[in-house]
Amino acid sequence: MSRRVVRQSKFRHVFGQAAKADQAYEDIRVSKVTWDSSFCAVNPKFLAIIVEAGGGGAFIVLPLAKVWQIPDYTPMRNITEPIITLEGHSKRVGILSWHPTARNVLLSAGGDNVIIIWNVGTGEVLLSLDDMHPDIIHSVCWNSNGSLLATTCKDKTLRIIDPRKGQVVAERFAAHEGMRPMRAIFTRQGHIFTTGFTRMSQRELGLWDPNNFEEPVALQEMDTSNGVLLPFYDPDSSIVYLCGKGDSSIRYFEITDEPPFVHYLNTFSSKEPQRGMGFMPKRGLDVSKCEIARFFKLHERKCEPIIMTVPRKSDLFQDDLYPDTPGPEPALEADEWLSGQDAEPVLISLRDGYVPPKHRELRVTKRNILDARPPSGPRRSQSASDAPLSQQHTLETLLAEIKGLREQVQAQEQRITALENMLCELVDGTD
């Protein structure tokens, strides 16, 4: 009698869990644009969501820290004037991607079939790739050091492009035979992971070697659905998460060097379909809870965090789950990258962000400044007259200055409130 051998993997028991209702973001009108995009971007501090608005282009930015101090006047303002405007596309822009290692280098692609690489710091066009895509570009992805691009296009061709040379290094026609949009990303091994559709409209995933595009390393059919599969890849764990537009599930796979190379791990399922998805960088995760991924699932009217965790019994920092990961600091300047230099991302350790759990209830207390202990030494009664006259005079001067500053702040707050009321009256009068 033969026994099936279970593949050993530290990620075999990864499970997903939706955050509690009080950690979700309510009353957000997510965009209804039909563009196959994630509609969401996230970093350890902020969450940005494309929202419904006339003419398009509107987005909302939310802080991820939920401990706020609300001043007497309303601090929020609608930002209508950009810091810098990048003009170069003749049609709507649907793809934006920051360079992984160079400062202020941004890629954009739109309905004009053109890829433009910008220096956002100066507003200049660094490179423009005009003649490489005969039809609409579906996806663009940098490799780990930003020397190559992987693109997919409506002409069903997967291309590997050297943007600085303006050359197509390799290409594969009909990596997936279906007519629906295809997606492609680089893996840490340098392979290309793709999602697409078969000729019979079944969703499919593939793994390709750019040095040999003749045959796929792996090709797997999944299911029958119209939703485009958006891949989110974690190079530290080599796990790829597939989120289908309109699906209510997230499927995740581990990519290894062992056949069949793309190993199914598990599926997170929920009741409501997703309109889009945001993926938190590794440095924004809670390493003390063995969290290896965090998604921000967009519903029709809200955004819901979903946490992926590896169950571990130990309270120690898990080195095998958290190798050094790319940090926020760039490795190159824009001019250095444009001149031909390449550099790997600047790595940071997540060990410093680890907070050991305390096996007791957490209580938030405020320090009472009146509870300060007297200085050590022999105790004696002391009056204000015991202090030197110079110190007493300095103290009185500081108290007077503080009082004056408080009065000035209160006056400015009243003036701001009055101006806001006048503005509201003017707006209401013009409606």
Please give the mean pLDDT across all residues of the chain: 85
pLDDT digits (tens, 9 = 90+) for 373-398: 444 444 443 443 444 455 566 777 88
Distances (CA, A) of 348 to 95, 243, 291: 28, 28, 17
Average of pLDDT values for 13-31?
Answer: 89
Buried b (16+ CB within 10 A) or exposed e, 397-428: eeeeeeeeeeeeeeeeeeeeeeeeeeeeeeee
Q: Which of 186, 218, 219, 222 is nearest to 202 (CA)?
A: 222
The sign of the dihedral angle between the CA atoms of 231, 232, 235, 240 is: negative
CB 95 within 8 A of CB 139: yes
Q: What is the pLDDT of residues 343-373, one digit of tens each?
A: 999 999 998 775 555 544 433 333 443 344 4
What is the per-residue pLDDT across 223-274, written as a single tens digit (0 to 9) for each?
Answer: 998 899 999 999 999 999 999 988 999 999 999 999 999 999 999 999 999 9
Q: In this prediction, what percent of the chain has a pLDDT beyond 70?
A: 84
What digits encode the pLDDT tens for the residues 295-321? 999 998 999 999 999 999 888 899 999
Read off the pTM: 0.77
Coil, helix or strand at residue 282: helix
